[in-house]
Amino acid sequence: MDMLQGLHQRVSTPQLTEPAPDAEQLEKMFQAALRAPDHARLRPWRFLTISGEARHALGEVFAKAALAEKPDLAPEAITRFKGLPLRAPLLVALICQVKQHPKVPAVEQQLSVGAAAQNILNAAYALGVGAMWRTGAVNYHPETAKGLGLSENEQLLGFIYMGTPGGSAKKQEPLETKDYVTSWQG
Ligand X SMILES: Cc1cc2nc3c(=O)[nH]c(=O)nc-3n(C[C@H](O)[C@H](O)[C@H](O)COP(=O)(O)O)c2cc1C
Binding residues for FMN: 10-12, 35, 39, 133-135
Nearer to ligand X, 66 or 132 (CB): 132
- The least distance separating ligand X from the CB of residue 140, rounded to whole angstroms, comes to 11
Nearer to ligand X, 57 or 169 (CB): 169
Pick from 20, 22, 10: which is nearest to 163 by CA? Answer: 20
- The least distance separating ligand X from the CB of residue 136, rounded to whole angstroms, comes to 4
- The least distance separating ligand X from the CB of residue 13, rounded to whole angstroms, comes to 8
Nearer to ligand X, 104 or 132 (CB): 132
- The least distance separating ligand X from the CB of residue 118, rounded to whole angstroms, comes to 8
Residue 157 DSSP one-character state:
E
Q: Which residues bind ligand X (CB under 6 A)?
A: 11-12, 132-136, 158, 170
- Cβ atoms of residues 144 and 156 within 8 Å: yes
Pairing of strands 16-17, 130-134: unpaired
Nearer to ligand X, 46 or 134 (CB): 134
* CA 47/CA 177 separation, integer angstroms: 33
Nearer to ligand X, 136 or 166 (CB): 136
DSSP 100-112: --SS--HHHHHHH
- Specify binding-site residues: 10-12, 35, 39, 133-135
Which amino acid would we find at residue 174?
A: P
- The least distance separating ligand X from the CB of residue 158, rounded to whole angstroms, comes to 5
Phi, psi of 14 (to 5 degrees): -70, -35
* CA 13/CA 165 separation, integer angstroms: 6
In a 13 Å sphere around the CA of 180, the CA atoms on its Cβ side amount to 4
